[in-house]
Amino acid sequence: MAGSADKGSKTTGMKSAYELALERLESQGIERPREEALSEETRAAVAEARQHAAAKLAEIEILHRDRLQSEYDPAKRSEEEETYLLERRRIEAERDKKIDKLRGERSD
């Protein structure tokens, strides 16, 4: 019987990157983050932080693509790519830091 080994599993089909990351955390003995433990106000602030970061990421990607279209020198294109990746990582790190801070300020 093909597929019968998966019968007892909670999910079927492909898992999202988030689900896979949570499984990795659990395999390392780290507890899953509990969103339900956050107040509505904190959840809204976290969502706003994510939305703000997504908007900034979209903005720098558009600007990056625009600059690449006008640049033909391979060295300068490579430099532009590296600058873009550094800026992207900075924005993502700021977002994660802000979310961690918000989650730490839970009101019980």
Per-residue pLDDT tens for 58-92? 999 999 999 999 999 999 999 999 999 999 999 99
Q: Is the pTM of this model over 0.85?
A: no
- Backbone φ and ψ for 43, nearest 5 degrees, come out as -60, -40
Asked whether residue 2 is domain-assigned, the answer is no
Asked whether residue 25 is domain-assigned, the answer is no
How far is Cα 84 from Cα 67, in angstroms, rounded to an integer? 10
Query: Is it the case that residue 17 has pLDDT exceeding 50?
Result: yes
Domain holding 45, by residue range, is 39-108
57, HSE (Cβ side, Cα atoms, 13 Å) = 15
Counted domains in the chain: 1
Asked whether residue 75 is domain-assigned, the answer is yes
Polymer length of the chain: 108
CB 80 within 8 A of CB 53: no
Asked whether residue 90 is domain-assigned, the answer is yes
Name which of 70, 66, 64 is nearest 82 in CA terms.
64
More confident residue, 60 or 105: 60
Asked whether residue 15 is domain-assigned, the answer is no
Query: Is it the case that residue 10 has pLDDT exceeding 60?
Result: no
pLDDT of residue 33: 67
Asked whether residue 99 is domain-assigned, the answer is yes
Report the chain's mean pLDDT, rounded to a whole number: 83
